[in-house]
């Protein structure tokens, strides 16, 4: 079904189940260890051999010699793959071991398979390698002006920026830097591969099933239908599991050669250099405003680096949408870097971009002597500033988010002069930032079956990366069929199910819910048809279909054979006609230790407007997670680049700092009432990335308000405050 005009009134609007908080239906399976993750299919695959990936010990150059003799004769070893004996693979997939060239540190250069993990790991250490090193570029600052690679984002040049900026009543010209960051999700990437004749099954951790399936098929040059991908439970993704790395490919390659299943998990240290990361940026913000605070000049230049063939950290993307200003100069420049590959990490682009933009707005507010909340309110715009009123926002409640947040947080008590509020050894400050995250949608299908016990089963490729997909899809099914949630079974993350959006880009919940909605609509139609009831005035409740006083149980209509329906949601051009985004306002209070510069977040509040909130409980958790990651981005997260050798030095969770419980005090989330008729029949918007957008800037602005030190180089560590 095509969604291409404003959503009509429909059963979701009843909100019998939807919009009420619901605990995760997969929670008991998870806490009792019954939810199986990729590496845990021991019953189905009892005879798997263990693989260990050996990564390159240099960043750029080539392998001069590789001696695998000792490894091959080590105890338990079944196979050692290197570029010398690996089969040729397709460039469209994720080919591994295709030559002696090294493109980045910890790139897979050998794969050892043995009877046990320990044997494979021990044997990998017996491989003797000699490298020919070549000079690499590892320092963004040094290469930023070397020119651009072609995949940079589109520039905006509107009006006469130079003139508007130089004649503005108040202006700021400030440069912010954001570091490389690692997803550091809990579950490391893992795969088990098994061949049955020419059919390959891969249990792996991937956010989008059909894209993993296509990638693996292309790598091996086999039909997509011959590859089954299963990612039923996923221990976090944050974008890291949008990419196919070496684990499924090498496992499948070795499994085919050995005629035996092979399993492999990346080690925690391998996550940092073997997989992708959020790439560092340098961002120059030039903002100019009239005396009323209204922006007249919006300048945002972004410099970043990546491997050839990979894109930029699109940090200016939201600057194009968030604020008005007739004169605009927005540019992204991408230079070649030989660090590990930069790619999407939660709110790719906007998370890093808003760290800079929303602090620059704070700096501008101070210059204008206008309250930072008031400055955002004065710069509200209800349409896409680069297109004009012909492209309105479908909904935009940023002003309401700001006002509600200011009221609830006690913003009026803020002393605008930094360094004035003292509490014992702490200087205390509060800060604000705006949040915006686009609301994309993707095609998404599902199958729904009602059985003779009145149980509804929903099957779809949609994944749940810890976000709550299982639960919201059960809620949609329950609402549509008039069932309690515990009469709905949800099966996810298997390429045998109808193709679905998957989890990424904040499109998962809205898209997959729409797919399940259309599927359940079709199922309702079929149930009504078979019931013989009058088709006007039909409703579904209490496990029955009801029309004009007659009620028939769904279980009775389903009969022994059950009734199934399959549908796919597709989306027309409403995303072009309307700018669609979720909005939020983040408030943070911090304490800065007067002696040490230690920063402690004391409390935070996010007020969000993100369309209909399908499950307020899991949506809240999404925002809390985003806010927590925002604290990390503001205060601690950074992959430290060794500029001599080109790798991330702090490659484990002991040294790559993320917030822990003691770093996360009183966090609160408020959702404004909102429905978006243009977003989908569910009237929902994505929420997965909104929570991280801007939140780090609110923390940094609070630090400035507390102590008067403006740090423009993230993360704000103690050494930069003192």
**Within 13 Å, how many C-alpha atoms sit on residue 399's CB side?**
11
* Catalytic pick among 358, 479, 567, 689: 689
515 vs 688, which CB is nearer to ligand MOS?
688
- Tell me if the bond preceding 715 is cis, omega within 30° of 0: yes
Spatial distance between the Cα atoms of 273 and 271, rounded to a whole number of angstroms: 6
Minimum CB distance to ligand MOS, residue 182 (Å):
13
Pairing of strands 666-671, 599-609: parallel
622 vs 678, which CB is nearer to ligand MOS?
622
124 vs 501, which CB is nearer to ligand MOS?
501
User: 591 φ, ψ to 5°?
Assistant: -115, 140
247 vs 362, which CB is nearer to ligand MOS?
247
207 vs 281, which CB is nearer to ligand MOS?
207
Buried b (16+ CB within 10 A) or exposed e, 655-674: ebbbbeeebeeebbbbbbeb
Q: Which of 601, 608, 316 is nearest to 431 (CA)?
A: 601
Q: Which residues contact 40 (CB under 8 A, 6 or more apart)?
A: none
CA angle 387, 389, 394 (to 5 degrees): 95
379 vs 503, which CB is nearer to ligand MOS?
503
Handedness of CA 699, 701, 703, 709 (dihedral sign): positive
User: Residue 263 class from Cβ within 10 Å (0-12 exposed, 13-18 middle, 19+ buried)?
Assistant: buried
- Rounded to 10°, the helix 350-368/616-635 angle is 70
183 vs 333, which CB is nearer to ligand MOS?
183
Pairing of strands 262-265, 49-55: parallel
Spatial distance between the Cα atoms of 631 and 618, rounded to a whole number of angstroms: 20
239 vs 477, which CB is nearer to ligand MOS?
239
123 vs 316, which CB is nearer to ligand MOS?
316
273 vs 314, which CB is nearer to ligand MOS?
314
Evaluate whether 303 touches 333 at the Cβ level (below 8 Å). Answer: yes
Minimum CB distance to ligand MOS, residue 236 (Å):
10
SS (H, E, C) 337-362: CCCCCECCCCCCCHHHHHHHHHHHHH
Spatial distance between the Cα atoms of 52 and 121, rounded to a whole number of angstroms: 6
122 vs 344, which CB is nearer to ligand MOS?
344
Minimum CB distance to ligand MOS, residue 277 (Å):
11
Spatial distance between the Cα atoms of 345 and 502, rounded to a whole number of angstroms: 15
Q: Which residues bind ligand MOS (CB under 6 A)?
A: 207, 237-239, 242, 344-346, 348, 504-505
Minimum CB distance to ligand MOS, residue 242 (Å):
6
Spatial distance between the Cα atoms of 445 and 456, rounded to a whole number of angstroms: 16
Tokens for 667, please give them: 């966090």
504 vs 659, which CB is nearer to ligand MOS?
504
Spatial distance between the Cα atoms of 89 and 497, rounded to a whole number of angstroms: 27
Tokens for 168, please give them: 């503005």
Spatial distance between the Cα atoms of 530 and 522, rounded to a whole number of angstroms: 12
Q: What is the DSSP string of 513-575?
A: HHHHHHHHHHHHHHHHHHHT--SSSEEEETTEEEETTEEEEHHHHHTTT-EEEEEEEEE-SHH
Minimum CB distance to ligand MOS, residue 239 (Å):
3
Minimum CB distance to ligand MOS, residue 440 (Å):
9
Residue 363 annotated to the active site: no
Spatial distance between the Cα atoms of 479 and 683, rounded to a whole number of angstroms: 14
Residues 392/473/459/39 CA torsion (nearest 10 deg): 100
Minimum CB distance to ligand MOS, residue 643 (Å):
27
Residue nearest to ligand MOS (CB): 239
Evaluate whether 482 touches 476 at the Cβ level (below 8 Å). Answer: no
218 vs 350, which CB is nearer to ligand MOS?
350
Minimum CB distance to ligand MOS, residue 546 (Å):
41
Q: Which of 17, 52, 3 is nearest to 485 (CA)?
A: 17
Minimum CB distance to ligand MOS, residue 622 (Å):
12
DSSP 189: P
Minimum CB distance to ligand MOS, residue 279 (Å):
12
Q: Which of 277, 359, 288 is nearest to 326 (CA)?
A: 288
DSSP-derived 3-state class of residue 583: strand
Provide the β-strand partners of residue 450.
Answer: 456, 563
Spatial distance between the Cα atoms of 164 and 166, rounded to a whole number of angstroms: 6
Complete edge-to-edge strand list for the sheet that includes strand 422-423: 422-423, 426-438, 581-593, 599-609, 666-671
User: 121 φ, ψ to 5°?
Assistant: -65, -45
Minimum CB distance to ligand MOS, residue 691 (Å):
13
Tokens for 232, please give them: 């039923």
Minimum CB distance to ligand MOS, residue 504 (Å):
3
User: Residue 60 class from Cβ within 10 Å (0-12 exposed, 13-18 middle, 19+ buried)?
Assistant: buried
Catalytic positions, please? 689
């Amino acid at each position: 079904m095509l969604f291409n005009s404003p959503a009509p009134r429909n059963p979701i609007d009843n909100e019998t189940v939807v919009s009420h908080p619901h605990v995760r239906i997969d929670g008991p399976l998870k806490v009792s260890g019954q939810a199986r993750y990729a590496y845990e299919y021991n019953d189905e695959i009892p005879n798997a051999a263990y693989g260990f990936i050996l990564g390159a010990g240099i960043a750029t150059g080539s392998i001069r010699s590789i001696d695998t003799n000792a490894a091959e004769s080590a105890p338990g070893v079944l196979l050692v793959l290197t570029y010398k004996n690996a089969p040729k693979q397709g460039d469209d997939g994720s080919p591994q071991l295709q030559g002696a060239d090294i493109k980045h540190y910890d790139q897979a250069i050998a794969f050892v398979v043995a009877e046990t993990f320990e044997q494979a790991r021990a044997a990998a250490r017996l491989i003797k390698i000699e490298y020919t090193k070549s000079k690499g570029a590892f320092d963004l600052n040094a290469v930023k002006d070397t020119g651009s690679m072609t995949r940079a984002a589109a520039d905006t040049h509107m009006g006469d920026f130079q003139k508007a900026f130089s004649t503005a009543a108040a202006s700021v010209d400030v440069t912010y830097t954001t570091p490389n960051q690692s997803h550091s999700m809990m579950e490391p990437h893992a795969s088990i591969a098994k061949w049955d004749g020419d059919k390959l099954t891969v249990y792996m951790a991937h956010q989008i099933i059909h894209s993993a399936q296509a990638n693996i098929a292309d790598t091996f040059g086999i039909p997509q239908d011959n590859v089954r991908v299963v990612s039923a439970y996923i221990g976090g993704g944050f974008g890291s599991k949008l990419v196919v790395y070496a684990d499924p490919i090498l496992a499948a390659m070795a499994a085919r050669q050995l005629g035996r299943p092979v399993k492999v998990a990346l080690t925690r240290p391998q996550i940092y250099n073997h997989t992708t990361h959020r790439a560092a940026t340098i961002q120059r913000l030039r903002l100019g405003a009239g005396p009323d605070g209204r922006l007249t000049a919006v300048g945002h230049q972004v410099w970043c680096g990546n491997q050839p063939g990979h894109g930029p950290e699109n940090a200016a993307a939201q600057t194009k949408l968030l604020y008005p200003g007739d004169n605009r100069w927005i540019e992204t420049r991408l230079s070649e870097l030989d660090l590990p590959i930069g790619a999407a990490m939660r709110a790719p682009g906007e998370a890093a971009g808003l760290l800079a933009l929303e602090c620059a707005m704070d700096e501008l507010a101070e210059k204008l002597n206008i309250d930072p909340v008031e400055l955002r309110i004065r710069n509200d715009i209800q349409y896409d500033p680069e297109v004009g009123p012909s492209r309105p926002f479908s909904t935009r409640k940023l002003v309401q988010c700001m006002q509600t947040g200011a009221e609830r947080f006690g913003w009026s008590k803020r002393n605008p002069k930094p360094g004035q509020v003292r509490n014992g050894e702490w200087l205390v400050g509060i800060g604000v930032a705006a949040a915006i995250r686009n609301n994309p949608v993707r095609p998404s299908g599902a199958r729904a079956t009602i059985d003779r016990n009145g149980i509804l089963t929903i099957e779809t490729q949609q994944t749940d990366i810890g976000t709550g997909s299982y639960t919201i899809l059960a809620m949609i099914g329950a609402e549509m069929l008039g069932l309690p949630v515990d009469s709905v079974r949800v099966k996810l993350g298997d390429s045998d199910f109808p193709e679905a959006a998957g989890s990424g880009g904040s499109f998962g919940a809205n898209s997959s819910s729409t797919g399940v909605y259309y599927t359940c609509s079709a199922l309702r139609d079929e149930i009504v048809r078979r019931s013989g009831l009058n088709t006007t005035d039909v409703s579904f409740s209490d496990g029955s279909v009801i029309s004009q006083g007659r009620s028939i149980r769904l279980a009775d209509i389903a009969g022994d054979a059950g009734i199934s329906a399959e549908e796919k949601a597709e989306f027309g051009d409403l995303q072009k006609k309307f700018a669609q985004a979720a909005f939020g306002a983040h408030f943070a209070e911090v304490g800065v230790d007067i002696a040490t510069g230690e920063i402690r977040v004391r409390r935070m509040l996010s007020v969000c407007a993100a369309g209909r909130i399908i499950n307020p409980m899991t949506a809240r958790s999404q925002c809390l997670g985003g806010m927590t990651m925002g604290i990390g981005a503001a205060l601690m997260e950074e992959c430290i680049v060794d500029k001599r050798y080109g790798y991330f030095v702090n490659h484990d969770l002991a040294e790559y700092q993320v917030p822990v419980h003691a770093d996360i005090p009183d966090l609160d989330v408020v959702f404004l009432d909102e429905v978006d008729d243009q977003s989908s029949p569910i009237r929902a918007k994505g929420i997965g990335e909104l929570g991280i957008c801007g939140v780090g800037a609110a923390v940094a602005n609070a630090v400035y308000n507390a102590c008067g030190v403006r740090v423009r180089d993230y993360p704000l560590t103690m050494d930069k405050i003192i």
